[in-house]
Amino acid sequence: MISSSAESSRLSSSLLRRGPERCSQEGRSEVAVTESPVAELSAGQGGVTAREPGARSLPVVPVRARGLTIEGADGRRYLDCASGSGALALGHNHPVVLRAIRSVLDSGAPLHTPGLVTGAEEDFTAELLRTLPAGLAERARVRFCSPAAGDPVPEALRLVAAGGRPGALLRPVRGDGGVTPAPDARVRELRERTAAAGIPLIADETRTGVGRTGAFWAVGHSGVVPDVMVVARAIGGSLPLAAVVHRDDLVPGAPQDRADSFRGNQLAMAAGAATLAYVRENGLAARAADLGGRMLRQLRDFAAGLPCAADVRGRGLLIGIAFAAPGRAARVRNACLRRGLIVELAGRKSGVVLLLPPLTVTDEQAAAVLDRLTDAVQAEAALRHGP
């Protein structure tokens, strides 16, 4: 069983199979009421009121976190299965990530140097190349770009277009689109057809990379080697980082760099290199395949007995439960929060409850996540009794 650290295990062990807790001043915990309305939290510390809720906002003000666990300003503790929208492959504040960040801070090196090659960038690039599919790694070039949402994929398309060709975009699993894995046979067929037509295949691994789906990169499930890979989110080890990896012969004379202000952050490079190495050296992709497979089977068995329609799908530790009834996924998310579990929504009309536990989640922690999730779904189904 792989855990993020002894400290994170101790912190999380007292939280399993229970709802959110309130911590006393003496450091002890007493179980708080778990059925309080989600909208009750209206103010944080220091008189700062909560912002107007948006589509993805939750009434939790985090003040401390470790591994799977978040502690809110109100003293409650939660199991976080949003993992920073997938950016936290190792969970919150993993020791190897903190050491890497402190090393850069203590070194006196510049923290942000777009356009300048540094030791942190070289270390990150070397570690990234170690993880790439054979056939791409030997001929890969890495171009850093803005980590802002929606920027890396257009950057890849721009790069391919500079070579005078269109590109074919592949998402091995549509994460925000509802957790829909592409069939391996169809991925291989796409690769064969694009290769025959001389069209570069671009794999968007923004959501699926760094072991999330049970392979280091999700294209590995099909054995396909893309011409271009878009990588982001988890590669920064909790900090913003994105890159486009491409074959060195794809673009004769690389196009001029764009003036992306945030493509050279040294803290992100260091945290990312540490994360990539830890996932690779500890076999966390294989761990995600095993544990995620077991979680999917248990959730499918559970969903088969529900009075409401629910479709469980996913790969590895990228798991979604889709509900047919409008608004049901949001109500389940709120019920999860009352039970001390943070989840995200995805898919059309936000109809899918998304589970993204860190790759360091233990079997015991996973059981606690499923207990809270299934209890929330059952409570919602009992109230509605509808498809």
In degrees, rounded to 5, the angle at the alpha carbon of residue 197 between the alpha carbons of residues 196 and 201 is 90
Q: What is the mean pLDDT of residues 315-337?
A: 95
Report the side by side order of strands in the sheet with 77-80. Answer: 62-66, 69-72, 77-80, 341-342
Amino acid letter at 37? P
For 56-106, how does the pLDDT look when each residue is reduced to its tens digit (9 = 90+)? 578 889 999 999 999 999 999 999 999 999 999 999 999 999 999 999 999
DSSP string, 104-117: HHHHT--SB-TT--
For 99-143, how does the pLDDT look when each residue is reduced to its tens digit (9 = 90+)? 999 999 999 999 988 878 889 999 999 999 999 999 999 999 999
Q: Quick check: 16 pLDDT over 70?
A: no
pLDDT tier at 387, thresholds 50, 70, 90: very low
Q: What is the mean pLDDT of residues 19-42?
A: 34
- Give the integer Cα–Cα distance in Å for 216 and 205: 10
Identify each DSSP E strand in the chain by its residue range: 21-23, 29-31, 62-66, 69-72, 77-80, 140-144, 168-170, 173-174, 180-181, 201-204, 228-231, 243-247, 310-315, 318-323, 341-342, 344-346, 352-355
- Give the integer Cα–Cα distance in Å for 154 and 172: 17
For 332-368, how does the pLDDT look when each residue is reduced to its tens digit (9 = 90+)? 999 999 999 999 999 988 999 999 999 999 999 999 9
Q: What is the mean pLDDT of residues 308-335?
A: 93
The residue among 359 and 16 whose pLDDT is bigger is: 359
Among 53-57, 180-184, 302-306, 352-356, the minimum mean pLDDT is found in: 53-57
Could you tell me the domains of the chain? 6-86+284-384 (3.90.1150.10), 95-281 (3.40.640.10)
Residue 385: its pLDDT value, please?
Answer: 60
Most confident of 25-29, 43-47, 352-356: 352-356
Cβ pair 155, 256 in contact under 8 A: no
- Give the integer Cα–Cα distance in Å for 268 and 234: 10
Cβ pair 342, 58 in contact under 8 A: yes
Q: Quick check: 155 pLDDT over 50?
A: yes
Give the helix/strand (H/E) hosting 144.
strand 140-144
Residue 254: its pLDDT value, please?
Answer: 55
